[in-house]
Every structure is written in structure tokens, then in C-alpha cells.
Amino acid sequence: MKKGFIWFLIAAFLLRLGYSLVSPLIEDDEIQVYLLGLKFYTTHLWPFFGPDVEYTHSQIPGALQGILVGLPLFIIPLPESPILLLNILCFSGLGLLAWYINKRLPEIPWWIVWGFVMTAPWTLRFGCRIVNPSYVQPFSILFFIGFFESSGIYKNKVINKGLAFFLMGFSMLSVMQLHLSWILLLPFILYAILKESAGRWNALVKSAAWLCSGIIVGSLLLIPTIVSGEFNSAGNLHDNVLLNRNNIGNLPTILARMLSFSSYEIPYMLGEDNPVRMAVIRESPWMAPFTVILLVAGMGQVAFYIISFFLKNKAEGWHSIRWITLGAVIIVYLSFFFSVKGPSSHTYYVLIPLIMLYSFYCYNNLMRWPSAVKKAAVVLLLSGVVFHAGVGKYYFGLSIYPKRPVIEKAIKTKDYSKVGLRRADVWESGY
């Protein structure tokens, strides 16, 4: 098993890296995040601000995003370096999540858990392209493992509670520098503290101390922005908060999209509209039967997750996980009453570790038919690999390679503007 597992890890990493290299880098958001790191490398200017919030012409404070993209260029000055580091980070995070799921649900064969976590459409969509939700992924995994271990869900702990609270504090401050969805993590921290303390002041103080220590470490790259006096020079982030009554009918949409994080939701991966999706399939007709299989499976998975909420499940932690998942749906729904943006999936992708764990609890109920589950898993996993090979083939023209000579020239001449201008250059504020 050890030898097979090692070969699996190598194959999974190479598959994800290959998919990452052919994923779009020519689209505006990807280019802007790449330029954050390229500007840091070519100018040596400290990246006081991170990703842009285009709707309000503002930027997220903190240097983490710029460093995560730019630091690899200092080590290996090649255009692909940021992609390599992103893959190492996300592969490590997803491996940790798969290990944790197997630890909590040992009845499910390891290769099913690891295979799906590593090749699920959403973990390939984010985790394989240079855009800020991709960088959220590993930190969100650390956060939710800390949450699961600190909130009284399990009797036997995988990590001690002190470390769990530290991870939550550290991860939340890291996500804060990458994406506005960090605000969705606050209710989970409050829940964990209340469950842990349960009226015991000593436990409350100890948990808070560990949490604060994680916050301090996570804020180290944010503090220079605060003390520099530049904090308000990149727009007002509070402009992204406003009363949005249009969200009132979005609960079914949010529920379906959240559960789709752990499903074969392939229409979104094919393209933004039906003409583009059909163009992908027409270019590689051999992927058509696998696409149909995954399309049906994806819809069935979401329906299965909803039905499973009402079914008995003997696995430890099920009662808590299902209600916490429902609570997360409600939190996301309510949050969009105060958001300038509608409920696009990437805005709450930070919750994917919770949805992944919930989905495998649902599958755990099917392990009374292990032979059928294994056969179905083989078909779906192989179909997923073939499907993404077709998607990668189509989008190769939008990958890093058409722009590689220009990026290489920018690296050599230390002039990031050869690749493009940062939005901040146009806005004349921020980084």
C-alpha cells in the first residue's frame, strides 16, 4: 500500500501541475494577481496591498498575496515558478484534507477520498490557476481542521485544542489578506470558543490566548501596511458593504452551489455559456461520453447530499457536521444581504473543506455496498481525468505559454509593465 500510495501522490501532483500549466492566465483577474508578484520581483517594492476589489476600486491590505506569487521568482526566475509554488501549497493542503477525512471516516477506501479530493472540478478550478481564491484553499483547510478539532465534534482529537485555535487565528488572518470571504469564518470561531469554554473561564482564556497567538503570527505581513500609514490609500473596503435586497430569493441557488463544491459540477468548468461549452466538446469529441456521465453524476450528487441530510448516519460527528453545514448555508445567505456582489461561487469557496467533509459523511452511508461504490468511483474518477484533459486542451491557448516570451522578457529586464499594468497603476492608488 505504501508503494502504491507514493505512486498515487506523484501521479496526482503531476496531473494537477499539468492542468495548472494549461489553465487560463490571459484573463484579467489571473493576470492582475500574477502582476502583483511580478511587480514585487521586478521593482523590489514591498507589496503593501494584495488583490483588487474591482467593483469599488479598492485593494485588500496585506503583503501575503504579492509574496506568494513573487517569492518563487526570486528563487527561480522563470515564468512558471509562481504556478509551481501554488501547486505545492494546494496539493499539500488537499492532501491534509484527504488524510483528515480518512481519519474521521476510515470505512471509505483511501483511494476514493484522495482521488476525488485531488481531482474534483472545484479543486482543479481553484488551486491550479493564479487567482486569489486558489491561495485561499490551503489556508481554509488549515482553518477548518482547527475548527473541527476545537468545537467538540469528536471525542478523540487528532491535534490538541491549543494548536487547533492557533490554526484558526493564523488562517483567518491569512485569508483576510487574500479574499473578502474571511468574514465568513468569524461565526465558526465564535461557535468553537463557546463550545470549548461552556461557561469555564479558564478554558475560555486559554482558547482565546491560542487564538490570539495565531492571529498575531498571521498578521505579520499585514502589520507593515497598517503602520506605514498607507492603509487607506487603496480605496475604502467598506464600500463593498451595502444593503442588497436582491438576495432574498437566492437561498436555493446558494445551497446548490455550495453543495456543488464537492460534486462533478462541470458546466461551469467548460465555460461561461453554452456556445463555449459546446465548442470545447466539438474540439475534443472523445470527451463527450465522459462529459455526459459527469453531468448526470454532478446533479445526482447534489440531490443525494440534500436527501442524506434527513437520513440516519452512525458515523461519529454526523449530527454536528450536518447542522454546522446547514448553518454555513444560512450564514452565506444572510451575508449577501450586505454585499455589493451577488452570490458567485468563488465568493464563499473558503467553505469547501466543510462541504467536502459533509459529502463524505453522506458517502459513508453507502459503504454497506462497498463493491458497487468502488466500481462507481473508478468510473467517475477516470471520467473526471479524461474530461479535464479535454478542457485543458481547449484552454491551452489562454494559458501562460502564449504570454511566456513576454513574461520572460519582463523578468529579465525587471519591467513588469511589459506584461501589463496593475489596476492600481490606472487607479493611481494602492499597489
Which pLDDT belongs to residue 344?
Answer: 86
Rounded distance between C-alpha atoms, residue 193 and residue 195, angstroms: 6
Q: Is 424 helix (H, G, I), strand (E, B) or coil?
A: helix
Residue type for 412, please?
K
Return the higher-pLDDT residue of 248 and 7: 7
User: Is the model more confident about 51 or about 425?
Assistant: 51
Q: How many helices and strands (H and E) does the chain possess?
A: 20, 2
What 3-state DSSP class applies to 61?
A: strand
Q: Scanning the structure block, which residue is given the C-alpha cell 442588497?
A: 244
* Res. 235 pLDDT band, cuts 50 70 90: low
In this prediction the pTM is 0.95
* Cα 84 to Cα 114: distance, rounded to the nearest angstrom: 20
User: How is residue 49 annotated by DSSP?
Assistant: E
Exposure string over 281-308, b if 16+ CB within 10 A, otherwise e: beebeebeebbebbbebbeebbebbeeb
Return the closest-CA partner of residue 215 out of 165, 173, 177, 183: 173
Work out the pLDDT band at 28, boundaries 50, 70, 90: confident
pLDDT tens digits along 251-301: 999 999 999 999 999 998 998 888 999 999 999 999 999 999 999 999 999
Where along the chain do its domains lie? 28-226+243-411
pLDDT 10s digits, 29-61? 899 999 999 999 999 999 999 999 877 788 999
pLDDT at 57: 81
CA distance 223 to 231: 10
pLDDT, one tens digit per residue, over 396-410 is 988 999 889 999 999
Neighbours of 236 (CB within 10 A): 11
Alpha-carbon span 389 to 54, nearest angstrom:
32
Look at 55-59, 127-131, 354-358, 412-416 and tell me which has the smallest mean pLDDT. Answer: 55-59
Q: Is the pLDDT of residue 145 over 80?
A: yes
Residues in CB range of 356: below 8 A, 6 or more apart:
97, 101, 117, 120, 261, 262
State mean pLDDT over 206-224.
95
**3-state DSSP assignment of residue 203:** helix
